[in-house]
Amino acid sequence: MSRIKGVSPVLIGLMGSGKSSIGRRLARRLKLKLIDLDDYIVKQAGMTIPEIFATEGEEAFREMESAALRAVLGKKAVIASGGGIVMREENRALLHAHPPVIWLKASPEFLAERIDGDRNRPLIAAGDTLARLQQLADIRYPLYAQCADFTLPRADMKKHEALEAIMDFLSGWKQNR
């Protein structure tokens, strides 16, 4: 544990990839708090994410997301980002400046099984979840790859296995810094 003290990782990936749930486990393991950017935005806005999308629009949400990222980066915490955090160049630059960034990579098929029907996710609420996730993957995967210091292919990996893989990466990453 002491070998990775002082590390504040950021988790990125598509919705449903496990950023929040694995982030909670990682935060406990590292003895840090978890900052979930979506929760942070909801608290700041006083509205749910679907309400923000419905009343303010996606662009306003993205603005809130960028402000939230600026506010929390550099804090001693595990940060679970929103899936679209990489859509803005300014956010990608911020992520590059605050490593380590860990991409929880999962196939659209894996994700669709996990989140189909979840009405708290505005980008998939109105249609074919798998098709929408594939569209998002086509756009976002190259951007996640640009930002990631470590890519963890989730596939059928259990959460505890993902946590161990991240801990192994962080141990090596910290030693090489």
Class of 2-172 per CATH? alpha beta
Which of these, 19, 26, 34, 23, lies nearest to 4 by C-alpha position?
26
pLDDT in tens, 77-95: 999 999 999 999 999 999 9
Residue 83 token pair: 């899936």
What average pLDDT score do residues 2-8 get? 66
Q: In which band, very low, low, confident or very high, does the pLDDT at 112 lie, cut at 50, 70 and 90?
A: confident
Q: How far apart are CA 96 and CA 82, in angstroms?
A: 16
Residue 117 has pLDDT above 60, yes or no: no
3 or 112: whose pLDDT is higher?
Answer: 112
Asked if 103 contacts 58 with a C-beta cutoff of 8 angstroms, the reply is no
Q: What is the pLDDT of residue 50?
A: 84
pLDDT in tens, 159-175: 899 999 999 999 887 65
Residue 132 token pair: 């929408």
Percent of the chain at pLDDT above 90?
62
Helices (H), 4-128: 19-30, 37-45, 49-55, 58-72, 89-97, 108-115
